[in-house]
């Protein structure tokens, strides 16, 4: 490919499939557009490992994973990222949301990083909480014959977790769903029964938990 054919923001997927790998590497470093970079990485990885592609492009495997995650964005959100209407940092957090949650932001004129982080934090907390409680129930002890449809009483077992304040003004927490930022004064940091750590808004914490004194 001639050197004069520099990268443009309008390289189509069909055109990309026809471009030689060495030219894709050249285009990658001229790009500056995360979605097109992700498509190029995807093309290179068809016959290479992630480690090999990272070495060729001189970027980390973590950067490759972040680019590829952007391809999980709703097509409209991908286009908004390509056109500059959506910031890369906001798009990356959006890409962690399930498709039905992303749909909420498709028709919004403005999407902020703060609201998307809050949505993702809510998703993470809900998932990890459900992982704790969504376990097979043991069989109830036999209490004599029961009529069909008869109401019985049961008490939910308490789940005790540990919590602490945020270390510094902001603290990055490494969760199973990716990195989340906890803010001083706004959040607590919780450690669950299995050692998982995640931030939670204080308002939600006090609605959900009762502090147990040592």
- Give residue 139's pLDDT: 60
Residue 76 pLDDT: 92
Residue range 203-214: average pLDDT? 82
Q: What is the pLDDT of residue 164?
A: 92
pLDDT at 74 (0 to 100): 92
Of the pLDDT bands very low, low, confident and very high (cuts 50, 70, 90), residue 140 is: low
Q: What is the pLDDT of residue 159?
A: 79
Q: Which of 38-47, 84-93, 95-104, 174-183 has the lowest mean pLDDT?
A: 174-183
Bridge partners of 191, per DSSP, are 162, 197
pLDDT band at 141 (very low <50, low <70, confident <90, very high): low
Q: In this predicted model, what pLDDT tens digit does every residue of 84-114 receive, in sequence order?
A: 888 988 999 999 888 888 998 988 888 888 8
User: Taking 60 as the threshold, does the pLDDT of residue 75 lie above it?
Assistant: yes
**Three-class SS of the chain:** CCCCCCCCCCCCHHHHHHCCHHHHHHHHHHHCCHHHHHHHHHHHCCCCCHHHHHHHHCCCHHHHHHHHHHHHCCHHHHHHHHCCCCCHHHHHHHCCCCHHHHHHHHCCCCCCHHHHHHHHHHHHHHHHHHHHHCCCCCCCCCCCCCCCCCCCCCCCCCCCCEEEECCCCEEEEEECCEEEEEECCCEEEEECCCCCEEEEEHHHHHHHCCCCCC
- Summary mean pLDDT of the chain: 78
Question: Where does the pLDDT of residue 8 fall: very low under 50, low under 70, confident under 90, or very high at 90 and above?
Answer: very low
Q: Which of 20-34, 86-100, 110-124, 162-176 has the lowest mean pLDDT?
A: 20-34
Q: What is the mean pLDDT of residues 30-42?
A: 84
Model pLDDT, residue 20 = 62
Flag the least confident range among 16-20, 73-77, 189-193, 198-202. 16-20
Q: Using pLDDT thresholds of 50, 70 and 90, give the confidence band for residue 178.
A: confident
Q: Please count the other Cβ atoms lying within 10 Å of the Cβ belonging to residue 36.
A: 24
13-113 under CATH 1.10.10.2830, yes or no: yes
Closest of 67, 61, 69 to residue 33, by C-alpha: 67
The pTM of the full predicted model, rounded to 2 decimals, is 0.50
Dihedral (Cα; 186, 192, 195, 197), 10-degree rounding: -20
Contacts with 187 (C-beta within 8 Å, 6 or more apart), sequence order:
166, 199, 200, 201, 202
Q: Report yes or no: 166 and 180 within 8 Å, Cβ to Cβ.
A: no
For the cut 50, the answer to whether the pLDDT of residue 170 exceeds it is yes
pLDDT: which is higher, 80 or 130: 80
Indicate the domain borders of the chain. Answer: 13-113, 118-133+158-214
């Amino acid at each position: 490919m001639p050197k004069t054919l520099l990268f443009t923001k309008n390289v189509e997927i069909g055109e990309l499939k026809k471009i030689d790998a060495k030219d894709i590497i050249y285009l990658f470093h001229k790009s500056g557009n995360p979605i097109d970079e992700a498509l190029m990485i995807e093309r290179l990885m068809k016959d290479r490992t992630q480690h090999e592609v990272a070495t060729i492009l001189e970027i980390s495997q973590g950067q490759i994973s972040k680019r590829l995650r952007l391809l999980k964005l709703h097509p409209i959100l991908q286009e908004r990222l390509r056109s500059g209407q959506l910031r890369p940092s906001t798009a990356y957090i959006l890409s962690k949301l399930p498709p039905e949650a992303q749909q909420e932001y498709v028709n919004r004129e403005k999407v902020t990083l703060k609201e998307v982080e809050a949505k993702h934090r809510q998703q993470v907390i809900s998932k990890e909480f459900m992982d704790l409680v969504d376990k097979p129930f043991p069989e109830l002890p036999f209490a004599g014959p029961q009529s069909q449809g008869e109401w019985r009483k049961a008490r939910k077992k308490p789940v005790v977790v540990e919590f602490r304040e945020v270390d510094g003004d902001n603290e990055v927490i490494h969760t199973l769903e990716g990195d989340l930022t906890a803010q001083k004064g706004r959040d607590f940091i919780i450690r669950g029964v299995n050692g998982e750590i995640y931030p939670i808004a204080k308002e939600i914490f006090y609605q959900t938990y009762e502090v147990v004194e040592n």
